[in-house]
Amino acid sequence: METPTQNIESLFANAGEYLEAKTELWKLKMVDKTSEAVSSIAEKVMLFFIALMFIILFNIALALLIGYWLGKSFYGFFILAGIYAIAGFLIHAFRDKWIKTPVTNSIIHKFLN
């Protein structure tokens, strides 16, 4: 039969092992959440650059087409620049609602799930 001193020592040893295991589990969970968030961001960045290349090439073609219709190729570029200026002002005016809040919620959602 074990003495009370041995029981207490065994209890402290088990508590230490439990604390180490709990700490290791927490570290692994954080690594998992961080890697998931980083991979999600990397995927979005890659898709963004592919979409950006498509949009740039499409806009050049569209500007040349509008310019062809109007008789001077630079007219198409001016018209598209005006459209993007208006779009930029709208995005700036609604940046919190359209960009900041969804991105913040997405990051929080990734870390809490």
Model confidence at 10, pLDDT cuts 50, 70, 90, reads confident
Please state the domain count of the chain. 1
23-51 pLDDT tens trace? 999 999 888 888 888 888 899 999 999 99
The CA-atom distances, in angstroms, between 32 and each of 27, 39, 87, 107 are 9, 11, 38, 14
Its domain, for residue 85, covers 4-112
Determine the Cα–Cα distance for residues 110 and 104; give it in Å rounded to an integer. Answer: 10
**pLDDT at residue 79, as a whole number:** 96
Determine the Cα–Cα distance for residues 89 and 56; give it in Å rounded to an integer. Answer: 19
Rg (CA), the chain: 29
